[in-house]
Amino acid sequence: MMMVRNYIVFKYFFILLDICGEGWTYFNGFCYFTNSSCATWEAALSSCLSSNASLASITSQEENIYVQHKHGGETGWIGLQDRRSNGNFTWIDGTEVNFTYWAQIRTNKFSSDQNCVHTLGPSLGYLWKDVTCTACHTFTCKRGFPFISFSARFTNLGATGRFGPTSIGSHYDGQSNKGQVTLSSGIQIWRVPHTGSYRIEAVGASGGFDTEINTRIYRGRGAQIIGTFKLFKGELIKILVGQEGGSINAKGGSAGGGGGSFVVRNHNTPLIIAGGGAGIESATLRYSNADASVYTNGNANAGGTHWEGGRNGNGATAADSGNSGGGGGGFYSSGRSSTNFGGSQGRGGEGGKGFLQGGAGGRSYVNSVPGGFGGGGGAYGSTTGGGAGGGGGYSGGASGDNDVDSSGGGGGSFNIGIDQSNSCCYNDMGHGYVIVTSV
């Protein structure tokens, strides 16, 4: 346990050094730099300003002790001064004066030319003294964290179907992520440019449809999952953007499940996942089960035999009859497939692959009606029926049964961010996406 704690402390310290910059140190929300050279108060201030900082303001005894230890026991300038109005001390960076630590005798009471303040050091009780501004002392600069703006929309890069994109092209021109993204088997690998907090919006893809009246509007909708996360400069983030489930150009046909959108740390630790919507078969109304879930478990199917969706990050495997669609893939494992794809229980669609298995959408038994990249289950695919595919997600949505007016189950979602906003039924048409913005 101690080893884990020490590792966390070391990593946190390293992260804060990265935020503050080389030579700077972190303390209680600010960055500090101590210059051991001797300088006048004005020269010290000028040096700090050149680094987008100011001479240190001190607001507590804790900070006072920290700064004076940085001075190494020597006297050192801080940002307190009364150059404009004798006896009216203010911090040069505008901080409100709510803490002082004067020595008992202040020479400023007797002389108007001693208008700048230095610390006396630990050996003299961490006290302060006002002296002439032309004296020569070491000094400490102080500044807040730098804010570097980042905004990018990660897309399917023009890819469709069960496999992800193979090239980036010019899709990210004009965005903050240009030049930061590579591809690995359709999954986008983003190298984080700066340590900081990022707002991430993940949206899952919608399921497919057939040509029955209104099935475009009744197909399963992808979830919108939003959270704020701390990301670290140089770390690699895996982003899989879910793709729309396959549709069939026939009445009475069945459609593929939509892919989930995944944002995952490089060592396969999920941050945020938005489930994909399920495919439908000749739906005459909207089934809530076809929509993605804001919860971690995948939804059950609607119509025909009832099958539960995947649980605890796994693909949906409950379907136990032929002519059904493939189960949606989860994070850890793939969805259930029919016998023609190495599974069980008769002919039908292939289960979507889990994220750890690559995330490919499942194949259909006939007519090329696959699940979307991101674990969408493949449809049976016949023009005369057959089950629809489940949606991909953190846990996969259930297979659709061979039943007119039915659907698969929508995929589950996942979010460990702060300031969450989660919506089950957001994307009613098309591919998913991921938006990342610095905050």
**What is the pLDDT, as a whole number, of residue 210?**
86
Q: What is the pLDDT of residue 263?
A: 99
Q: What is the pLDDT of residue 15?
A: 47
Q: How confident is the model at residue 19 (pLDDT cuts 50, 70, 90)?
A: confident
Top pLDDT among 170 and 111 is at: 170
Q: Is 401 exposed, middle or buried (0-12, 13-18, 19+ CB in 10 A)?
A: buried
In degrees, to the nearest 5, what angle opens at C-alpha 309 toward C-alphas 304 and 310? Answer: 155
Please check the confidence at residue 258 and state whether its pLDDT lies above 90: yes
Higher local confidence (pLDDT), 381 or 161: 161
pLDDT tens profile 40-95: 999 999 999 999 899 999 999 999 999 999 999 899 999 999 988 888 999 999 88
Tabulate helix, strand, coil % of the chain (nearest 5).
Answer: 15, 25, 60
12 membership: H or E segment, kind and range: helix 2-20
* Cα 280 to Cα 297: distance, rounded to the nearest angstrom: 20
Q: Tokens 């990301």 sit at which residue?
A: 231
Show the domains of the chain with their CATH numbers. Answer: 25-144 (3.10.100.10), 149-438 (no CATH)
pLDDT at residue 218, rounded to an integer:
93
Residue 126 has pLDDT above 80, yes or no: yes
Residue 293 has what pLDDT? 99
pLDDT at 195: 78
Average pLDDT over residues 323-335: 98
Alpha-carbon span 340 to 390, nearest angstrom: 18
Residue % of the chain over a pLDDT of 90: 77
Per-residue pLDDT, averaged over 368-385, amounts to: 93
Q: What separation in angstroms does the CA of 253 have from each of 201, 281, 407, 424?
A: 33, 6, 11, 25
Tokens 């059950």, located at residue: 300
Cα–Cα distance between 316 and 297 in angstroms, integer? Answer: 9
Dihedral (C-alpha) 94, 95, 101, 105: value to the nearest 10 degrees?
20
How confident is the model over 319-330, as a mean pLDDT? 95
Nearest CA-CA partner of 355 in 398, 414, 277? 414
Confidence of residue 6 (pLDDT cuts 50, 70, 90): very low
Q: Give tens-digit pLDDT for 272-285.
A: 999 999 999 989 89
Q: Tens digits of per-residue pLDDT, 156-209?
A: 999 999 999 999 999 999 999 999 999 999 999 999 998 789 999 999 999 999
pLDDT at 250: 74
For residue 13, what pLDDT is reported? 43
Is pLDDT above 50 for 14? Answer: no
Confidence of residue 211 (pLDDT cuts 50, 70, 90): confident
